[in-house]
C-alpha cells in the first residue's frame, strides 16, 4: 500500500449501525475510486463511537459489520489500509499528547459538542468534549495529505491543523498539515422527510433515512413518501429542496447530470420521478447487499482482515509516535 509517489488520504466511519445512503454517497461510494489514486487509510472509528453510550455486544457486531460493509463497497485491503481504531494503540497514545496542545476554549467552540450535548443531556462526558483531539490524532498519525470531509466536519479539520501548527512551533517540524478533500457531487445527502436536515441514522422518522442493506421494496416505499413541493415539474432550483435532494441522489447513482434528469422527466409528475429514484437506488445497492451477505458469513476472513489492518496501521503510525515521544522528551524504551 505504501507508495511514496501517492498522497495519503485518511477517512473513518463510526460503527453505529448500517450505513445510510448519505454515508454511502457522501463518502464510502467514493472511497473505492480513491484507493486507485491515493494511499488510502480507512478506519472503523469505534473509539469515537463510545462518546455516546453503546451496548457492548451491539458495538462489537456493528464494528465487524462495518468492516464487511466497506469490503462489500469495494475497499480492497491489498490496496488500502483497513483497520479498527481500537486495535491500534497509537491512537490513544497520541490523543493524550495532543490534548496537552489543545486549548479548552477552542474545544468548547466545537459545534458538534454543543449539538450532541443537547441530544444526550444525561451523558455529557469528557470524551464527548475532547473527541476532536482524538480525531486530530487519527489524521496526524499517518501524516495525511488529504481528509475527505463534509461541510459539518470542516471545523474539526481546522482544529487539527491548529493543533499540528502549535505542536510544530513548540517542538519543531513534526506533523504534515492536512488539506480537505471534498467531492463535487453528493457531499451532503439530506433527509427524505426534512430536506433541510442531513440524512441521519438516528432520525426517529423511519421514512427519512435509507439504509444501504434495506430490501428493494422498503427503499422504493420510502422514496414514494419523500417530501417534495407543491409544483409538479422536476427541475433543480432554489426553493425546491426536496426535489433537489432527490435529483442529487438520482444523479449520484446513475451518473446523469441535472440537465439530463430534467429532460428525462419532462412532462412527468413527481410520482414517476420518485419511483424511478427508488428503483435506481435499490438496483445500484443490490451488488453491495449481495456481497455483504457473502463476506459477513466468513468470520475468519473478517478477523484476518482486521488483524492485518491493525498490524499495518500500527507499523505506519508508530513512526509518528516515536518522533512525537522524542520531541516532547519522553524516555524511550
Which is catalytic among the residues 61, 79, 176, 198? 198
Residue 42 pairs in a beta bridge with 11, 82
3 is catalytic: no
Q: Are the beta carbons of 304 and 238 closer than 8 angstroms? A: no
327 is catalytic: no
25 contacts: CB under 8 Å, gap ≥ 6: 186, 189, 249, 252, 253
* Strand pairing class (8-13; 39-44): parallel
Q: Tell me the CA distances in angstroms from 18 to 12, 143, 161, 209, 213, one per residue in order.
A: 14, 29, 31, 11, 7
Helix (H, G, I), strand (E, B) or coil at 272: helix
Taking the C-alpha atoms of residue 193 and residue 74, their distance in angstroms, rounded to an integer, is 30
Helix (H, G, I), strand (E, B) or coil at 135: helix
Taking the C-alpha atoms of residue 66 and residue 57, their distance in angstroms, rounded to an integer, is 14
Task: For residue 8, give the H/E element and its range.
Answer: strand 8-13
116 is catalytic: yes
Taking the C-alpha atoms of residue 23 and residue 285, their distance in angstroms, rounded to an integer, is 13
Q: Are the beta carbons of 21 and 249 closer than 8 angstroms? A: yes
> What is the dihedral angle through the alpha carbons of 169, 175, 176, 179, rounded to the nearest 10 degrees?
-90
* Helical H segments across 3-55, by residue range: 21-23, 29-37, 46-49
What nine digits make up the cell of 160? 487539527
Which is catalytic among the residues 29, 116, 240, 274? 116
What nine digits make up the cell of 187? 457531499
* Phi-psi map region of 206: left, alpha, beta (phi>0 left; psi -120 to 50 alpha): alpha
Q: Are the beta carbons of 172 and 157 closer than 8 angstroms? A: no
Which is catalytic among the residues 7, 79, 201, 308? 201
Q: List, by residue number, the catalytic residues.
A: 116, 198, 201
Amino acid at each position: 500500500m505504501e507508495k511514496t509517489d501517492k498522497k495519503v488520504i485518511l477517512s473513518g466511519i463510526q460503527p453505529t449501525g448500517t450505513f445510510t445512503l448519505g454515508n454511502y454517497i457522501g463518502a464510502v461510494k467514493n472511497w473505492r475510486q480513491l484507493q486507485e489514486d491515493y494511499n488510502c487509510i480507512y478506519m472503523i472509528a469505534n473509539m469515537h463511537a463510545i462518546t455516546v453510550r453503546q451496548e457492548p455486544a451491539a458495538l462489537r457486531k456493528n464494528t465487524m459489520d462495518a468492516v464487511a460493509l466497506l469490503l462489500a463497497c469495494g475497499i480492497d485491503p491489498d490496496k488500502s489500509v483497513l483497520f479498527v481504531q481500537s486495535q491500534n494503540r497509537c491512537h490513544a497514545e497520541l490523543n493524550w499528547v495532543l490534548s496537552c496542545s489543545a486549548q479548552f476554549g477552542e474545544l468548547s467552540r466545537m459545534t458538534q459538542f454543543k449539538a450532541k450535548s443537547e441530544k444526550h443531556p444525561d451523558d455529557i462526558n469528557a470524551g464527548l468534549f475532547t473527541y476532536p483531539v482524538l480525531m486530530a490524532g487519527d489524521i496526524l498519525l499517518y501524516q495525511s495529505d488529504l481528509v475527505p470531509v463534509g461541510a459539518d466536519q470542516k471545523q474539526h479539520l481546522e482544529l487539527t491543523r491548529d493543533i499540528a501548527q502549535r505542536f510544530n512551533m513548540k517542538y519543531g517540524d513534526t506533523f504534515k498539515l492536512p488539506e480537505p478533500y471534498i467531492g463535487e457531487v453528493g457531499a451532503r445527502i439530506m433527509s427524505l422527510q426534512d430536506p433541510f436536515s442531513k440524512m441521519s441514522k438516528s432520525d426517529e422518522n423511519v421514512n427519512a433515512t435509507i439504509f444501504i442493506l434495506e430490501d428493494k421494496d422498503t427503499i422504493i416505499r420510502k422514496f414514494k413518501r419523500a417530501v417534495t413541493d407543491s409544483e409538479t415539474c422536476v427541475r433543480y432550483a432554489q426553493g425546491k429542496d426536496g426535489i433537489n435532494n432527490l435529483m442529487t441522489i438520482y444523479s449520484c447513482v446513475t451518473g446523469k447530470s441535472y440537465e439530463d434528469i430534467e429532460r428525462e422527466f419532462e412532462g412527468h409528475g413527481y410520482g414517476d420521478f420518485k419511483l424511478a429514484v427508488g428503483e435506481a437506488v435499490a438496483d445500484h445497492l443490490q451488488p453491495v447487499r449481495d456481497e455483504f451477505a457473502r463476506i459477513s458469513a466468513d468470520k475468519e476472513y473478517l478477523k484476518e482482515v482486521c488483524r492485518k489492518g491493525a498490524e499495518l496501521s500500527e507499523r505506519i503510525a508508530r513512526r509518528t509516535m516515536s518522533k512525537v515521544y522524542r520531541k516532547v522528551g519522553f524516555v524511550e524504551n
